[in-house]
């Protein structure tokens, strides 16, 4: 396994993060335990979840599964950099979501209880809250850090200007602030190259791509089509990008690599990227993901990938202004 620093921090995390959104809805608890144990064996120490995963309001099903896994002991907690999120709806009350100090306080206590731990290594804002001032958010989080319940703080689904705004206020409070940003980023979705990536690079914020395989579309979907049932969203991606996927899978075959591994390797070549989030449903998928760490994409291959999957044209404002 390869490791890198989480943003500008001294914390080292694996270059692949284990996403757990499937745990509960699609992967049984027993199989989830097997995947988590195997991840540690492979050297993956970065585990990402969220209080809303499991998709039953207020229950935190996925966090509960991870908590019962950690409770088995054997050094599981000590070997794990544990990341979860706050923002989503956790009840029916008017303050059971978003980023008010009131909700943050309740949410972190709920996550700690479900995860059966006394601290969260990376506490992430699952979405921007335009209704709550940053002074309130940072005051609440600073208290959690002082109490030892949270170590680092990250964001998710933020725009570039929102990263800068949040970090500017954190700096004025002499607080470390954001160390990571979890964004939608893959070969088919490259919008963050305009402003999020440049902002993250300038601020020392590590980018954690979610949906690195575009919901499976970059995982060899043409070859597998018919072999497995596709979700409605994945089927739409297939129809939208069919011509590009033909070229992409042909390039992967030419290189002798699996399409999924090329997609992950492409993300890993970007120095701003800390760790793409992989969400395996099976051990086979987990083991297969490690191949991406060994793939070095040449300038020629990177150019060909840009031709197949053109991005926004570079970074703002040069991408659209003289």
The DSSP code for 200 is: H
* Dist CA 14 CA 18 (whole Å): 9
Q: What are phi and psi of 238, to 5 degrees?
A: -60, -45
Q: So which residues are the catalytic ones? A: 53
DSSP element (H, E) containing 36: helix 29-42
Q: Checking DSSP bridges between strand 206-210 and strand 178-184, what pairing results, if any? A: parallel
Considering Cα of 47, then 49, then 51, then 55, what sign does the dihedral take? negative
Q: Is omega for the bond preceding 317 within 30 degrees of 0, making it cis?
A: yes
Q: Provide long-range contacts, Cβ within 8 A and 24+ apart, for 140-149.
A: 140/101, 140/104, 140/105, 141/104, 141/175, 142/173, 142/175, 144/104, 144/108, 145/175, 148/118, 148/119, 149/108, 149/112, 149/118, 149/119, 149/120
Sign of CA dihedral 97, 101, 104, 105: negative
Q: How many other C-beta atoms can be found within 10 angstroms of the C-beta atom of residue 109?
A: 12
* Contact indicator for 295, 258 with CB cutoff of 8 Å: no
| Sign of the CA dihedral with 271 first, then 163, 154, and 209 last | negative
Q: What is the chain's Cα-based Rg?
A: 19
The helix or strand, by DSSP H or E, that contains position 35, with its residue range, turns out to be helix 29-42
CB 48 within 8 A of CB 83: yes
């Amino acid at each position: 396994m390869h490791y890198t620093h989480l943003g500008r921090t001294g914390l080292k995390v694996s270059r692949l993060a284990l996403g757990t959104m499937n745990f509960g809805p699609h992967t049984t608890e027993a199989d989830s335990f097997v995947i988590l144990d195997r991840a540690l064996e492979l050297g993956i120490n970065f585990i990402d979840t969220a209080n809303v995963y499991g998709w039953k309001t207020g229950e935190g099903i996925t966090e509960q599964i991870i908590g019962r896994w950690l409770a088995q002991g054997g050094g599981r907690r000590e070997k794990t950099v544990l990341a979860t999120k706050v923002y989503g709806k956790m009840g029916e009350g008017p303050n059971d979501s978003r980023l008010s100090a009131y909700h943050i306080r309740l949410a972190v206590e709920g996550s700690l209880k479900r995860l059966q731990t006394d601290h969260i290594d990376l506490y992430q804002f699952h979405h921007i809250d335009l209704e709550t001032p940053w002074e309130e958010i940072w005051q609440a989080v600073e208290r959690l850090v002082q109490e030892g319940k949270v170590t680092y703080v990250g964001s998710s689904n933020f725009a570039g200007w929102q990263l800068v705004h949040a970090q500017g206020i954190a700096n004025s409070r002499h607080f470390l602030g954001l160390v990571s940003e979890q964004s939608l980023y893959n070969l088919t979705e490259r919008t963050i190259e305009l402003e999020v990536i440049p902002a993250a690079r300038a601020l020392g914020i590590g980018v954690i791509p979610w949906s690195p395989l575009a919901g499976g579309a970059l995982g060899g979907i043409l070859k597998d089509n018919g072999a497995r049932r596709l979700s409605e969203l994945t089927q739409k991606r297939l129809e939208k990008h069919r011509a590009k996927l033909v070229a992409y899978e042909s390039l992967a075959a030419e290189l002798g690599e699996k399409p999924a591994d090329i997609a992950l390797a492409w993300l890993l070549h970007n120095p701003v990227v800390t760790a793409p989030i992989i969400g395996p449903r099976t051990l086979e998928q987990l083991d297969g993901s490690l191949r991406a760490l060994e793939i070095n994409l040449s300038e020629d291959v990177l150019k060909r990938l840009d031709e197949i999957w053109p991005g926004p044209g570079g970074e703002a404002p040069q991408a659209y202004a003289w």
